[in-house]
Amino acid sequence: MNILILGTSGVHHTLIAANMLLDRFKGELTTMKGYCDTWLDRSGCPIYVGTDRDGHRVYTLGVGRELKVARKALGSMLELFRDSPHQVVVTEITIQGELWIRMAMLCSHLPWGRRVNELISGRVLRGQLPRIQSQVERLRAQIGLASGEGGNHGALLERVAQ
């Protein structure tokens, strides 16, 4: 099964969630591969983060401010390719202060922008870790249910945010 974690950014809170899901997150943000890499995020391709012990491949995807539209489009894709060979579970992670993250990403184009991005994002994200953790716990439960359903069809999970 492939797990796609959707968010406004694929290299901030969604990346933390993916690392938490993989039991890799130790509280240090800057050591995560791809963290605050806005060029990676802007490509639009799902970012592979790792594979969990059950063999689920975990990806993140950042879609900017049009999260709702992207979510609907990916849901439509799942409907369109109902008999696809690989099962994909799409879920969404949200935090408070996403506007700050978006502003921090804009700073990336400036000199020292990456560092500014890391500083602002770090400040926002550290305060949101409990919220992300709780969403990841819910996601784990939902993945367990989706895995037990059988068949190859994907699923668009209910938003796991509070």
List contacts with other proteins (CB under 8 A). Answer: 2, 4, 42-46, 59, 61, 63-66, 68-81, 84-86, 88, 154
For the bound state, the minimum distance from the C-beta of residue 86 to other proteins, rounded and expressed in Å, comes to 4
In the chain, where does DSSP find H-type helix?
13-21, 38-42, 67-80, 98-107, 113-148
- Looking at the Cβ atoms of 4 and 95, the one nearer to other proteins is 4
Q: Can you give the length of the chain in residues?
A: 162
Nearest-approach distance from CB 70 to other proteins, in angstroms? 6
Contact call for residues 156 and 77 (beta carbons, < 8 A) = no
| Strand ordering across the sheet containing 57-62 | 47-51, 57-62, 2-7, 88-92, 155-156
- Residue type at position 46: P
Beta carbon nearer to other proteins, 131 or 153? 153
The residue among 32 and 63 lying less far from other proteins, judged by its C-beta, is 63
Q: How far is the CB of 9 from other proteins (least distance, A)?
A: 12
Nearer to other proteins, 45 or 119 (CB): 45
State how far the Cα of 123 lies from the Cα of 118, in Å rounded to an integer. Answer: 8
Q: How far is the CB of 28 from other proteins (least distance, A)?
A: 28
